[in-house]
Amino acid sequence: MTYRESFREAGPFTATFAFYLSGEESLDANAGLERLALKFPFDSSQDNPQLAAMMDSIPGCEWFRQLSIQDYPAPFIIFAMRGDFFPPYLPTLNPSRAALWPTESLEAIKNCRVWFVIETLFSPDNPQAAYGFLHRIAALIAGDRLVGGLDVQAHKLRSREECYDITTGDAPPPINELFSLSAYDDVIDVLVNEGVEKFADSFDSLSESVETETARIKDEIRAERRSQLADLAGAYDSALESLASESVVEALQDGRAEFWSDDADVAREIDNLLGWLQTVPEMQRVTAARQFSSLATDVNRRGYDRLVLLGMGGSSLAPEVMANTLPAAEGFPQLTVLDTTYPDAIERARAAMATERTLFIVSSKSGTTVETATLFDYFLEANDGNADDFIVITDPGSPLEARARNLGVWKVFTNRHDIGGRFSALSYFGLVPAAGAGIDVGDLLDEAAAVLPVHDLDHPGIALGAAIGAAATSGRNKLTLLSSNRWASFGTWLEQLIAESTGKNGVGIVPVVGEAPRAVAHYGDDRIFAVIEDGDADSTALAESLRQAGQPVVSLPANLGQLFMVWEIATAVAGKLLGINPFDQPNVQSAKDQTNRILSSGSSSEIEGLDARSAIQHVLSAAGRGSYIAIQAFVDPTDDTRDALASLANALAEQTPAPVTVGIGPRFLHSSGQLHKGGAAQGVFLQLVQASSNDLDIPGREYSFNRLFMAQADGDYQALAERNMDVTRAAVGSAGDILAMARSVAATGVAAD
């Protein structure tokens, strides 16, 4: 539809109220209003956040607010807004091309005071043309008296007092003609005849040029994406065709659960887990209301030295990424994530309370996660029962919410109930801890909003999902992330998202993160790579070498907000291509059940491990083509231990083309644990267990942290074994033992005794 046709179809009355921002009253012609609004490019709120927030609520505003009135010729704009927003808006107008009349609207808006701005764009170099046009319009409306003065050289309308107010009865009779529809018809006739008709052809020509250029750019992007996928290009095309036939764009726009399953019961479950598609604009409104900045101010005012997050999986990984990746304001406490039941780590956190005032954030969607619940109990007692140093984030109506309110914790944030943990990065679960640590979450949300809404099949999330889904169904199910060290914690978040979402029903995508670079020829043909383009020379060079060798490598921007959103969409899309429900985790419970059984029995572990040499020999011999090695480390999560585990993984990678992943328990049980048990039977599992000589009682429980920790290790081993997975256990006493294993493997290919 052309610009001229859109205007005429909307009709005079609707055109008069082209932009209606009251947000309270309704118009009979709303449909026409919204349709017309899309045709008037106008950025009226650059300097007015309050007005911008109102505009955000109008359909289509996301599009036209990004355009510039200086760059896009429009014959006129009529803008209606509440009188109380008049003063901050007026200075943004160009006085040489504007005229204002205050008036009451027609009966459809009843008693709501509005302001009209009629703005012409004949030529910036010929203000007299605009001046003459405005005078002709003014003569129609007000006869010889110009309302408030229309002298473009002395535009003095800066306050209501300088304008006629129809409600006081002091307006001259010609102003009252505004209340007759005929007066509006006359105005519209002039606007159409002398404005629209003069510019419709040029606007349509511009629109056609923009559409042509947009199509050209999209073709270039599509070609670049296909070229990055090497021999997967054909499978990628087929995946996109399949997704288009299933209306993937509409499914993501509208949250259509049936897109992922035609089983009515499953679709109902999925429908209750799609809130992540709406959370960004909701959290932007929370940001605009200063809820996050107020939290940050309160945390800073209280003088906390340290912020400790007690949570597992989706409740802790995203905040950790934000704390490690984004800058924080000076003077705020550093965020630390405590997601272990290892007694020594818990005791260190308690000891720090003696010298550092600590704010605890207890984060759990269900409110029943055993690690989070026991840590809450422990540190509440350690804080002498003072709940005022605790913040709780949970779902509404959860047991944790009830307990938190009963205890009188400092703050309680109830998240949308329809967001699964691993999709909750841009909800309260991710943003509250980040805000408390002095991070500007508003910028992060704006980054994410830049890739929303899902507009068409070219959306980067759909394209990425099609790529990794096509790769997985073509035998390349090892998704390897290439990045600089800055993005290491992002890889841990991505690992949970991908592994827990896709690893089920005997299929899945294996995320490989934090892997040291190999020789290009040493990578197998079961991989697809994703590189975060942040200018890092090493990862960029490796990505280019892999492409030259024919490996598929997709590029991603170094933009955290966009990465969160794009990967969440891509994961949901890939799940569709794999034929699974990406929003459940059916096998996570099996390890929990085994753990609970062990705790209830009170018995000691009966699992016989191997010595280090034998365990390594078995793992290397079992890791064949298409497999992967998963080091499952139930150990004290110190920096030294993490470094030793990375060394061991690198040493093993030198001996086999199989990818090597590392997970620290019990954290990984809420991450890659689902893939290990429910995905393809490709894993070779090396479980390292470090017993603690320390022990800590858990208030209100019959077992200690040491007992819980060992039961979790035993429970996961047994859950793997009962599925006939290849799992081997070896005991370690310290980080030094792990490092000795790594050195021995690197030197001889086997572990030291």
Least reliable range by pLDDT among 203-217, 355-369, 584-598:
203-217
Q: In sequence order, what are the residues at sequence separation of 6 or more whose Cβ sits closer than 8 angstroms to the Cβ of residue 360?
A: 308, 309, 310, 376, 379, 383, 389, 390, 391
| Contact between residue 23 and residue 53 where contact means Cβ atoms under 8 Å apart | no
Could you tell me where the DSSP H helices lie in 353-421? 370-382, 399-407
Say if CB 598 and CB 715 are below 8 A apart.
Answer: yes
Residue 573 has pLDDT above 70, yes or no: yes
Task: Show the tokens assigned to 397.
Answer: 């109506």
User: How far is Cα 179 from Cα 101, in angstroms, rounded to an integer?
Assistant: 13
What pTM value is reported for the model? Answer: 0.76
pLDDT, position 111: 29
Q: Distance between CA 363 and CA 635 in Å, rounded?
A: 23
Instruction: Determine the Cα–Cα distance for residues 299 and 499; give it in Å rounded to an integer.
Output: 35
Position 45 scores a pLDDT of: 37
Does residue 316 contact residue 434 with C-beta atoms inside 8 Å?
Answer: no
Using pLDDT thresholds of 50, 70 and 90, give the confidence band for residue 640.
Answer: very high
Query: What confidence tens digit (pLDDT) does each residue in 493-545 have?
Result: 999 999 999 999 999 999 999 999 999 999 999 999 999 999 999 999 999 99
Q: Which two tokens stand for residue 361?
A: 């954030």
Q: How confident is the model at residue 751 (pLDDT cuts 50, 70, 90)?
A: low
Confidence of residue 41 (pLDDT cuts 50, 70, 90): very low
Report the chain's mean pLDDT, rounded to a whole number.
79
Pick the more confident residue, 526 or 104.
526
pLDDT tens per residue across span 687-698? 999 999 999 999
Is the pLDDT higher at 342 or at 21?
Answer: 342
Q: Mean pLDDT across the stretch 452-467?
A: 95
In 3D space, the residue among 677, 643, 678, 679 whose CA is nearest the CA of residue 662 turns out to be 643
What mean pLDDT comes out for the span 622-639? Answer: 96
3-state secondary structure 426-456: CCHHHHHHHHHCCECHHHHHHHHHCCCCCCC
Task: Indicate the residue type of 500.
Answer: E
202 confidence band (pLDDT: 50, 70, 90): low
Q: How far apart are CA 528 and CA 229, in angstroms?
A: 8
What is the residue type of 1? M
Cα–Cα distances (Å) from 79 to 116, 133, 612, in that order, read 5, 17, 75
For residues 535 and 539, give the distance between their C-alpha atoms in angstroms, rounded to a whole number: 8
Q: Is 335 in contact with 437 (CB distance < 8 Å)?
A: yes
**Region 654-661: what's the mean pLDDT?**
95
Whether 42 shows a pLDDT value over 80: the answer reads no
State the pLDDT at residue 209.
77
pLDDT at 3 over 80: no
* Residue of 478, 449, 384, 432 whose CA lies nearest to 679: 478
Assess whether pLDDT exceeds 70 at residue 714: yes
What pLDDT is recorded for position 126?
A: 40
Q: What is the predicted pLDDT for the residue at 213? A: 79
Sequence-ordered list of residues with C-beta below 8 angstroms from that of 587, at least 6 positions apart, any chain: 504, 673, 674, 677, 678, 719
Helices (H) and strands (E) in the chain, counts: 31, 17
Instruction: Report whether 753 contacts 613 (CB < 8 A).
Output: yes
Question: For 146-174, what is the mean pLDDT?
Answer: 33
pLDDT of amino acid 606 = 80
pLDDT at 261 over 60: yes
Give residue 602's pLDDT band: very low, low, confident or very high (50, 70, 90).
confident
Please provide residue 397's backbone torsions phi and psi, each rounded to the nearest 5 degrees.
Answer: 85, 5
- Contact 346/705 with Cβ under 8 angstroms? yes
